[in-house]
């Protein structure tokens, strides 16, 4: 019985390894042939560009601006950028643009603007690609004729371009109007900034890489109180999004927020213009003000003395008592510097390193097989580490 | 005030001890080693889909830090024991 179980387990193990090898072998992609757009709705963060030969139609509700007969007619543009490094990202893109007519829902081919175009392969390219969704026209009694742009994603691609029909339309929402940054109130003294889609903004009619995100804080009389900037992480560190920003104002009350972005060439735009009425206001928690002690209040005076003697000021904590400078100096000097250099080189594994090849991700396989295995390994590794730690210090002689 | 003074003096003492190290030139890795590690990284990156290499690197770093701290402790104690009157 035991022997049979053993045999079964061995067969199961080898079968699993064999299956895994087949799956991994099929997933190895050096230069994909086809380039598709994938996604569900524009307000979900799942809109993505993938490179494979399967169909990922966009889905979503019919766009509207309040009434059934007042519709946005979006045209969908795919731009092909030829830049290869960050410095070139801000230059105007040379490539192709196509439009798609949502009334007929006909398929299209990149490079052609005819409404009855058919899907197919369009040339061989390499470079960064992204999709821009554009609301080109507003009908009915909508008051403004505004074009909105959303960059869905950016991927390095090398190979043939193949475009197929997007089956459904995309809902018109605020996330479409202000696609790049979305600020939401968190706790009382926090402001969160999401960059759901990309680092790009359309500034001065050019699509540019975002360098900074800023928040302008106004009081209720619309007097500007503060402008705070945060540097956006490099485009190659996409794992760092979303940002969460902490901001504390020294007086409690209601404030109005305007947020915006600055491009690499320091052109900034407010994503919600201050001249329009806000729906957004934010209450900040006041910083606790120090109250003066009465001379006879021994407890208060004692606390003050204790604070003065033992609690460093925020400036001193910020300064780090010189440890920061010491740490910076040590980082560059032998023998510690070698450790830091090697650590910098190897610490990017699995996070930021561009792989020599890619294992193409199929969501069901990743979710149901790879992710649980990976999670199990994470737990196992940490368990082994803490096991080692306990044993190490158990026998340690002080 | 006292905490700040204590920590500042501590940093000052460490700086004095480390002065010979700080006089050395800045380190840099030979290009071949950098290239070798970068290439190895690029081949290891896809494996992270199944095996958490980033966790492994973090754990190994912690291991090195802990062992380094233990070594430093032992060296310090050894030096202290050389001072007459201290056991």
ipTM of the complex as predicted: 0.72
Report chain A's mean pLDDT, rounded to a whole number.
Answer: 50
Predicted confidence at residue A293, as pLDDT, reads: 75
CA distance A182 to chain B (A): 30
Predicted confidence at residue A354, as pLDDT, reads: 56
More confident residue, A250 or A255: A255
Claim: this prediction has a pTM higher than 0.95: no
Predicted confidence at residue A40, as pLDDT, reads: 25
B19: chain A residues, CB-CB within 8 Å: none
Predicted confidence at residue A136, as pLDDT, reads: 34
Predicted confidence at residue A258, as pLDDT, reads: 65
Q: How many CA atoms within 13 Å lie on the side-chain side of A164?
A: 16
Predicted confidence at residue A380, as pLDDT, reads: 93
Give the largest CA-CA distance in chain B.
59
pLDDT in tens, A26-80: 322 222 222 223 222 222 222 233 222 222 222 222 333 333 333 333 334 433 3
- The answer to whether the CB atoms of A356 and B14 lie below 8 A apart is no
Residues making up chain A, counted from first to last: 398
Q: How confident is the model at residue A294 (pLDDT cuts 50, 70, 90)?
A: confident
Backbone angles phi, psi at A94, to 5 degrees: -110, 130
pLDDT in tens, A165-206: 322 222 222 222 222 233 333 333 333 333 332 333 333 333
Residue A114 pLDDT > 50, yes or no? no
Backbone angles phi, psi at A274, to 5 degrees: -70, -15
- The answer to whether the CB atoms of A353 and B2 lie below 8 A apart is no
Residue A105 pLDDT > 70, yes or no? no
B3: chain A residues, CB-CB within 8 Å: 309-312
Range B49-73 average pLDDT: 84
**Cis status of the peptide bond prior to B76, with omega within 30 of 0:** no
pLDDT in tens, A377-398: 999 999 999 998 888 888 777 6
* Most confident of the following: A77-81, A139-143, A211-215: A211-215
Residue A108 pLDDT > 80, yes or no? no
Helix (H, G, I), strand (E, B) or coil at A144: coil
**Cis status of the peptide bond prior to B3, with omega within 30 of 0:** no
Q: How confident is the model at residue B82 (pLDDT cuts 50, 70, 90)?
A: confident
8 A C-beta contact, residue A153 and residue A130: yes
Predicted confidence at residue A385, as pLDDT, reads: 92
- The answer to whether the CB atoms of B41 and A349 lie below 8 A apart is yes
* Most confident of the following: A131-140, A230-239, A357-366, B53-62: B53-62
A336-346 and A323-332 are packed helices; what angle lies between their axes, rounded to 10 degrees? 80
CA angle, A347 as apex, A341 and A353 as ends, to 5°?
110
| Residues whose CB is less than 8 angstroms from the CB of residue A209 and which lie 6 or more positions away in sequence, other chains included | A86, A89, A90, A199, A200, A235, A263, A264
- The answer to whether the CB atoms of B70 and A396 lie below 8 A apart is yes
Q: Is A366 on the interface with B (CB under 8 A)?
A: yes
Predicted confidence at residue A141, as pLDDT, reads: 38
Measured distance CA(A112)–CA(A120) in Å, rounded: 11
8 A C-beta contact, residue A163 and residue A110: yes
pLDDT in tens, A273-285: 433 333 333 333 3
| Residues whose CB is less than 8 angstroms from the CB of residue B12 and which lie 6 or more positions away in sequence, other chains included | A322
Other Cβ atoms closer than 10 A to A236: 12
Residue A301 pLDDT > 80, yes or no? yes
CA angle, B20 as apex, B17 and B25 as ends, to 5°?
135
Please name the member of B3, B37, B59 whose beta carbon is closest to the beta carbon of A346.
B37
Range A287-299 average pLDDT: 67
- The answer to whether the CB atoms of B7 and A322 lie below 8 A apart is yes
Residue A352 pLDDT > 70, yes or no? no
Please name the member of A326, A333, A353 whose beta carbon is closest to the beta carbon of B27.
A333
Predicted confidence at residue A209, as pLDDT, reads: 53
Size of interface A-B (CB pairs under 8 A): 132
- The answer to whether the CB atoms of B2 and A351 lie below 8 A apart is no
- What does A311-329 look like in DSSP terms, one character per residue? SPPHHHHHHGGGHHHHHHH
Residue A304 pLDDT > 60, yes or no? yes
Please name the member of B24, B42, B66 whose beta carbon is closest to the beta carbon of A355.
B42
Looking at chain B, which residue has its C-alpha nearest residue A351?
B54
Give how far Cα B29 sits from Cα of A108, A340, A347, B37, Å.
52, 11, 16, 11
CA distance B71 to chain A (A): 12
Q: Which of A321, A393, A397 to mutate to test the interface with B (most CBs of B within 10 A)?
A: A321
* Most confident of the following: A219-233, A306-320, A340-354: A306-320
Q: Is A278 on the interface with B (CB under 8 A)?
A: no
Please name the member of B11, B14, B52 whose beta carbon is closest to the beta carbon of A378.
B52
Predicted confidence at residue A90, as pLDDT, reads: 34
Measured distance CA(A396)–CA(B69) in Å, rounded: 13
Kindly state the DSSP code that residue A87 receives in the 8-state scheme: G
Which tokens sit at A153?
């994603």
Residue B36 pLDDT > 50, yes or no? yes
- The answer to whether the CB atoms of A312 and B44 lie below 8 A apart is no
- The answer to whether the CB atoms of B52 and A326 lie below 8 A apart is no
Which of A2-6, A201-205, B31-35 is the least confident region?
A201-205
Give the largest CA-CA distance in chain A.
89
Q: Is A333 on the interface with B (CB under 8 A)?
A: yes
């Amino acid at each position: 019985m035991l022997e049979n179980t053993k045999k079964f387990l061995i067969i199961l193990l080898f079968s699993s390894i064999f299956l895994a090898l087949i799956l991994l072998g099929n997933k190895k992609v050096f230069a994909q042939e086809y380039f598709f757009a994938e996604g569900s709705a524009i307000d979900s963060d799942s809109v993505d560009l993938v490179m494979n030969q399967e169909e990922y139609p966009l889905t979503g509700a019919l766009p509207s601006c309040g009434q059934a007969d007042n519709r946005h007619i979006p045209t969908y543009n795919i731009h092909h950028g030829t830049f290869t490094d960050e410095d070139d990202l801000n230059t105007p893109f040379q490539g192709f643009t196509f439009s798609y007519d949502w009334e007929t829902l006909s398929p299209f081919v990149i490079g052609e603007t005819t409404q009855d175009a058919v899907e197919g392969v369009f040339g061989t390219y390499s470079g960064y690609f992204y999709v821009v969704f554009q609301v080109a026209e507003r009908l009915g009694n909508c008051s403004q004729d505004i074009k909105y742009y959303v960059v869905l994603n950016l991927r390095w691609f090398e190979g043939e371009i193949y475009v197929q029909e997007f089956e459904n339309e995309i809902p018109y929402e605020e996330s479409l109007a202000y696609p790049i940054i979305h600020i939401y109130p968190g706790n009382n003294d926090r402001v969160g900034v999401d960059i759901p889609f990309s680092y790009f903004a359309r500034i001065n009619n050019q699509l540019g890489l975002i360098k900074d995100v800023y928040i302008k804080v106004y009081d209720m009389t619309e007097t500007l109180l503060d402008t705070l900037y945060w540097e956006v992480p490099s485009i190659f560190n996409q794992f760092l999004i979303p940002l969460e920003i902490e901001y504390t104002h020294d007086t409690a009350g209601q404030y109005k927020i305007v947020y915006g972005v600055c491009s690499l060439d320091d052109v900034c735009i407010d994503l919600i213009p201050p001249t329009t009425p806000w729906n957004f206001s934010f209450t900040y928690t006041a910083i606790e003000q120090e109250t003066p002690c009465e001379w006879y209040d021994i407890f208060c005076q004692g606390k003050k003395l204790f604070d003065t003697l033992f609690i460093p000021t925020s400036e001193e904590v910020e300064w780090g008592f010189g440890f920061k400078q010491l740490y910076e100096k040590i980082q560059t000097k032998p023998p510690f510097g070698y450790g830091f250099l090697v650590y910098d080189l190897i610490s990017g594994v699995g996070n930021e390193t561009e792989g020599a090849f890619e294992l193409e991700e199929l969501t069901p396989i990743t979710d149901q097989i790879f992710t649980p295995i990976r999670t199990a390994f994470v737990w196992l590794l940490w368990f082994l580490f803490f096991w080692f730690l306990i044993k190490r210090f158990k026998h340690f002689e002080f | 005030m006292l905490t700040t003074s204590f920590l500042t003096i501590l940093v000052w003492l460490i700086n004095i001890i480390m002065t010979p190290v700080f006089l050395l030139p800045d380190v840099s890795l030979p290009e071949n080693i950098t290239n070798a590690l970068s290439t190895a990284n690029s081949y290891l990156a896809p494996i992270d889909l199944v095996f958490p290499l980033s966790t492994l690197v973090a754990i190994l770093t912690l291991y090195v830090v802990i062992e380094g701290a233990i070594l430093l402790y032992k060296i310090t104690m050894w030096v202290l024991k050389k001072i007459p009157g201290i056991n």
